[in-house]
């Protein structure tokens, strides 16, 4: 068996120590990039990038106090709260996303947790997205075990619920739910047999220790998340933006590279903040092992590069979108 084939059969480690993750962050940049790119090649075709589209199916008015989020009522951004979108309207967006090359359609609702009656409509959306041959993902806040089972029965592939930051820095970011609440939701999702999308946000004023803590928390979950979105803080008028200095792009690339090494089989996604990144920074992120992006003009309420500029960047870098699940 050659090295890449052998690597595919290895079970990823969930016993990373904090010191091991810290040692990866401390590597000289060229060495870190080399190791991350080597791990990436052992598990994936490095020229292929999975494309997801994310829409907000219920915007604003969220009672949680996430300091980075424009949808929180505790961030006075003037964002108008909306009702849950109609199922047909959501499916029209899914069809358009599919035509633009997206293989996964993600739907986000700004809730602390969904009410059981809201789940009827969300389950119909999931069924409709699946009927289009796309993967489905939702992010609805905290879930109970029975709610996770209901979503699984509707055919849901992925549930997004981020850890956001390190356990130590968490209280500076959100106070209305605990780290353990998040871990509990992730456990309900896993137990229901839904794949996990879970990552965090960097650039919220956290230290490198906290970025180490975030990757350590993700990489020591009992099973690694199948998708690991790494976001760079954006969003005008939020408390987090007002109190944080801009993150050095190379620190962002380092975080991507360490995530790739620590979670070798996960899809590492360049998420919020791409709009403000240069092409060079994005290219470094792909070299560091990022292999998934969001496509489309908006991520919930945050601007995102237009599909045309993404196509141009893909052409320049020789990258191609991964096939739809029904085509692979």
Question: Active-site positions?
Answer: 62, 66, 69, 106, 137, 197, 269
Question: Which of these ranges, 16-24, 63-71, 86-94, 125-133, lies near ligand SF4 under the rule CB under 6 A?
Answer: 63-71
Q: Which is nearer to ligand SF4, 72 or 185 (CB)?
A: 72
How far is it, in rounded angstroms, from Cα 46 to Cα 151? 32
The single residue among 24, 33, 69, 233 that binds ligand SF4, judged by CB under 6 A, is 69
Q: How far apart are CA 287 and CA 298, in angstroms?
A: 24
Q: Report if residue 62 touches ligand SF4, rule: CB under 6 A.
A: yes
Position 202 contacts ligand SF4 (CB under 6 A): no
Closer to ligand SF4 at the Cβ: 71 or 185?
71
β-pair type (298-299, 302-303): antiparallel
72: contact with ligand SF4 by CB under 6 A: yes
**Smallest gap, in angstroms, from Cβ of residue 71 to ligand SF4?**
4
Phi, psi of 152 (to 5 degrees): -60, -40
DSSP-derived letter for residue 223 is S
The DSSP output letter for 128 is H
Phi/psi-derived region of residue 290, left when phi > 0, alpha when psi is between -120 and 50, beta in every other case: beta
Least distance from C-beta 30 to ligand SF4, angstroms?
Answer: 36
Distance separating alpha carbons of residues 105 and 137, to the nearest angstrom: 6
Interatomic CA distance for residues 274 and 271, integer angstroms: 6
Contact flags string 135-174 toward ligand SF4, x per CB under 6 A: ------x---------------------------------
Shortest distance (Å) from residue 277 CB to ligand SF4: 21
The reply on whether position 50 binds ligand SF4 by CB under 6 A is no
Total number of residues that touch ligand SF4 (CB under 6 A): 8
Comparison of 53 and 71: residue with beta carbon closer to ligand SF4: 71
Please give the helix or strand (H or E) that residue 267 lies within, else none.
strand 267-270
Is residue 95 packed enough to be buried (19+ CB in 10 Å), middle (13-18) or exposed (0-12)? middle
Residue ranges that bind ligand SF4, judged by CB under 6 A = 62, 64, 66, 69, 71-72, 110, 141
């Amino acid at each position: 068996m050659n090295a890449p084939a052998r690597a595919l059969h290895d079970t990823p480690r969930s016993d990373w120590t904090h010191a091991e993750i810290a040692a990866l962050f401390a590597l000289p940049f060229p060495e870190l990039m080399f190791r991350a790119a080597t791990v990436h090649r052992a598990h994936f075709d490095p020229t292929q990038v999975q494309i997801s589209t994310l829409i907000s199916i219920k915007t604003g008015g969220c009672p949680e106090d996430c300091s980075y989020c424009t949808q929180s009522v505790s961030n006075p951004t003037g964002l108008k709260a909306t009702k849950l979108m109609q199922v047909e309207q959501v499916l029209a967006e899914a069809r358009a996303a599919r035509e633009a090359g997206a293989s996964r359609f993600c739907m986000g609702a700004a809730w602390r947790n969904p009410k059981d009656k809201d789940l009827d409509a969300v389950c119909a959306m999931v069924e409709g997205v699946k009927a289009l041959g796309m993967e489905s993902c939702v992010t609805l806040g905290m879930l109970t075990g029975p709610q996770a089972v209901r979503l699984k029965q509707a055919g849901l592939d992925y549930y997004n619920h981020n850890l956001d930051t390190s356990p130590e820095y968490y209280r500076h970011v959100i106070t209305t739910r605990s780290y353990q609440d998040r871990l509990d939701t992730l456990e309900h999702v896993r137990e229901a047999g839904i794949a996990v999308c879970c990552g965090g946000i960097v650039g919220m004023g956290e230290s490198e220790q906290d970025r180490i803590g975030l990757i350590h928390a993700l990489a020591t979950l009992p099973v690694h998340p199948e998708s690991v979105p790494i976001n760079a803080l954006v969003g005008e008028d939020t408390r987090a933006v007002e109190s944080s200095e801009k993150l050095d792009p190379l620190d962002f690339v380092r975080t991507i590279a360490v995530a790739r090494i620590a979670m070798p089989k996960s899809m590492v996604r360049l998420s919020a903040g791409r709009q403000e990144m240069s092409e060079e920074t994005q290219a470094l992120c792909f070299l560091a092992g990022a292999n998934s992006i969001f496509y489309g003009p908006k991520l919930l309420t945050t601007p995102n590069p237009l599909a045309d500029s993404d196509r141009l960047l893909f052409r320049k870098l020789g990258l191609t979108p991964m096939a739809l699940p029904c085509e692979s």
